[in-house]
Amino acid sequence: MLARDEGGRKFRFAPLGGPTFQREVDPAVVRNLPDSFVVVTKEGRVLVRSAGTVHVLLELGGVWKLVGGLVWLVPRPIRDFVYDRVAAVRKRWFAQPPDVCPVVPEAQLRRIDP
């Protein structure tokens, strides 16, 4: 998302346990969130799992918007099932070597809130 959001105008990032997220989202909602991908829209809606993923794809535009539209056509229970299966193995599939220290470019680092 960081790399595809050219100019950095569409998305900001904050850890779920950080002060920014805690301040922006109602505590009752936070308590009920799954340990998952969470998106807070401009309108304040909280989207999790596949719904958040579809929202991001649609917002990215271009070919990603087409992909998001196609994924949106799949019923949510099926999307969430696939999302959960991929989430369970993604760290094994896309693992960084243990001796690599990730370096985030300064422009992207400025988009991550506490």
> Exposure of 50 by Cβ count < 10 A (0-12 exposed, 13-18 middle, 19+ buried)?
buried
pLDDT value of residue 52: 95
pLDDT value of residue 30: 87
String of DSSP letters for 79-96: HHHHHHHHHHHHHHHTPP
pLDDT value of residue 54: 96
Residue with the two structure tokens 């850890």: 15
Q: Break the chain into its structural domains and give their ranges.
A: 6-76+83-94
Cα separation of 4 and 19, whole Å? Answer: 26
Q: For residue 1, give the nearest of 114, 83, 113, 112 by alpha carbon.
A: 112
Question: Along the 114 residues of the chain, how does pLDDT read in single tens digits?
Answer: 767 776 677 888 888 888 998 888 888 888 888 878 899 998 989 999 999 999 999 999 899 999 999 999 999 999 999 999 998 887 777 777 777 777 777 777 777 788
The beta-carbon contacts of 48-54 under 8 Å, at least 24 apart in sequence, are 49/79, 49/80, 49/83, 49/84, 50/76, 50/79, 50/80, 50/82, 50/83, 51/76, 51/79, 53/83, 54/79
